[in-house]
């Protein structure tokens, strides 16, 4: 499709295929990103769910940590789901020893805030920025945002007030996995930001 944004999915670990399929279905040109030169060739990046500590370690092994940090600082639109949200947080409250994040979002995130995988759950969320229809959200060993800075827009919270979707500038993060539910609106919101980024260059 002519004029389609070229969006990368960080393909070090996690549910890469699900994101790639959803983005392609929404008209994006999708590239799997494992190397700095592949990152340099995309207009936006998705960091998938998986194991945040593993993605962190692999990003350093593949020489990707600093290029991703630099791209975020330069305004590259990035969407992180679950582990991806943890990796976008400036502060990870209960990371394993030595765990690092890419940062960029002025949030504090707690890993595995809801317990083990057996305590995963699904719920409906009100997300006004996406319209009136609730978002069906699946939480799998999900993180939660315990602190959001002044520049962070809270897009969705659980009934107990726990923050599960945030946006700051070109960065978007969700605790849950829209890509596993066929919920396209967060990816559409992200692609709108990518197109605005491309148009503004």
- pTM attached to this predicted model: 0.95
Set 82, 122, 133, 192: catalytic member: 82
Residues 140-161 have pLDDT tens digits of: 889 999 999 999 999 999 988 9
Residues 49-77 have pLDDT tens digits of: 999 999 999 999 999 999 999 999 999 99
d(C-alpha 59, C-alpha 125), whole Å: 32
CATH number at 68 reads 3.40.50.880
Q: State the chain's maximal CA–CA distance in angstroms.
A: 46
d(C-alpha 29, C-alpha 26), whole Å: 9
* In a domain? residue 103: yes
List the domain range (segments joined by +) for residue 154.
6-199
Set 19, 177, 183, 187: catalytic member: 177
* In a domain? residue 1: no
Strands 29-33 and 121-125: unpaired
Active site (annotated) includes residue 19: no
Q: For residue 157, list its beta bridge partners.
A: 163
* In a domain? residue 109: yes
- Kindly list the distances between the CA atom of residue 92 and the CA atoms of 30, 69, 70, 78, 84, in Å, as whole numbers in the listed order: 29, 16, 19, 18, 12
Query: Looking at the 3D structure of the chain, how many domains does it have?
Result: 1
Q: Give the tokens for residue 50.
A: 């998986």
Instruction: Flag whether pLDDT at 163 surpasses 80.
Output: yes
Set 179, 183, 196, 197: catalytic member: 179
């Amino acid at each position: 499709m002519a004029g389609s944004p070229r969006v990368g999915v960080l393909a070090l670990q996690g549910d890469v295929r699900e994101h790639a399929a959803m983005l392609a279905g929404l008209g994006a040109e999708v590239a799997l990103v494992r190397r700095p030169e592949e990152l340099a060739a995309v207009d936006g990046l998705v960091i998938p769910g998986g194991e945040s500590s593993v993605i962190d370690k692999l990003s350093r092994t593949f020489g990707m940590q600093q290029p991703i940090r630099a791209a975020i600082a330069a305004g590259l639109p990035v969407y992180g789901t679950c582990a991806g949200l943890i990796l976008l947080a400036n502060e990870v409250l209960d990371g394993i020893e030595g765990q690092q994040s890419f940062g960029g979002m002025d949030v504090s995130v707690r890993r595995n805030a809801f317990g083990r995988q057996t305590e995963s759950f699904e719920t409906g969320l009100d997300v006004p920025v996406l319209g009136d229809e609730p978002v069906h959200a699946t939480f799998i060993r999900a993180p939660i945002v315990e602190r959001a800075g002044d520049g962070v827009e809270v897009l969705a919270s659980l009934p107990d007030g726990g923050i599960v979707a945030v946006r700051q500038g070109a960065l978007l993060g969700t605790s849950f996995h829209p890509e596993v539910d066929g919920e396209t609106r967060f990816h559409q919101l992200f692609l709108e930001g990518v197109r605005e980024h491309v148009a503004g260059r």
